[in-house]
Structure 1
Amino acid sequence: MTQLLNLSEAAAYRVKEMMEHNGEQGSFLRVSVNGGGCSGLTYGMGFDAEQHDTDQLLELHGVKIVVSSEDTDILAGTVIDYKESLMGGGFTIENPNAIASCGCGTSFRTAKKAGAPASCD
């Protein structure tokens, strides 16, 4: 069975830093899939104080992560990492279910769910 998500140690460290900076200690990291973007779907990541009955809960490297049951098939096997470069740092998301993505690098689609494309800015 494929693990729902994998959060790298670097990403977990950055998430914890952001939680502390924003006063969100004790919150969950919510990872979601939303409609939109050039290819039809976009990723969402943010802090949430609540876990819902329909959420799956994971704890990776000390970060509690919640994912809605509606998004688990789309996100199965996804790897979230954080990378630093001379241009700054940012999260990267590698989803083995994504069959296409756009030039923006922020939207995707899967074989089972295409979403509703919107124009890229």
Structure 2
Amino acid sequence: MASEKQVIILTEAASFQVKEMMVQNEEENASLRVAVKGGGCSGLSYGMAFEQTINDDDFVDSQHGIQIIVSKEDAGILQDTKIDFKQSLMGGGFTIDNPNALASCGCGTSFKAAARPAVEQPCE
């Protein structure tokens, strides 16, 4: 496992929501993996999932009682990315503020980054 390094900034509101989701999915002992994958109208999209396995080249950090995992490959693109959870009259959702994104799409689910060129796809 790579040394501990803060790549993601998880707000208290986001951590509260993640903990709630862990309980709902019976994943209380899991870690939160934050990743970048190809896809979306700007070429890259974010992924978050509960995971039990930590790979040797993963960066691991703990914030607000949540263990966060980011692969070495994704760490450069995600460095200093802030994940928050916003509640409104229309419901709630996670917001991702990535200072490494060159551009984001209109639907807010994908982005472009200089560190990893990707093929743009139509918005769904």
Shorter-chain TM band: over 0.9
Matched, 1:40 2:28: no
Work out whether residues 55 and 68 of structure 1, in 8 Å CA contact, stay in contact via their aligned partners in 2.
yes
Q: Distance in 1 between matches of 2:93 and 2:111?
A: 18
Unaligned 5+ runs, structure 1: none
Q: Report runs of 4+ in structure 1 exceeding 4 Å deviation.
A: none
Specify the SS of the correspondent of 1:19: helix
How many corresponding residue pairs?
120
Give, in angstroms, the shift of residue 111 of structure 1. Answer: 2.0
CA offsets per residue over residues 67-120 of structure 1, 9 Å max, x none? 110000000010000000000000000000001111111000112223121111
2:81 aligned residue (78, 101, 105): 78
RMSD: 1.1
Letter in 2 for 1:106: T
Unaligned 5+ runs, structure 2: none
Work out whether residues 76 and 115 of structure 2, in 8 Å CA contact, stay in contact via their aligned partners in 1.
no
Give, in angstroms, the shift of residue 3 of structure 1. Answer: 4.1
Give TM-score, length-normalised by structure 2: 0.93
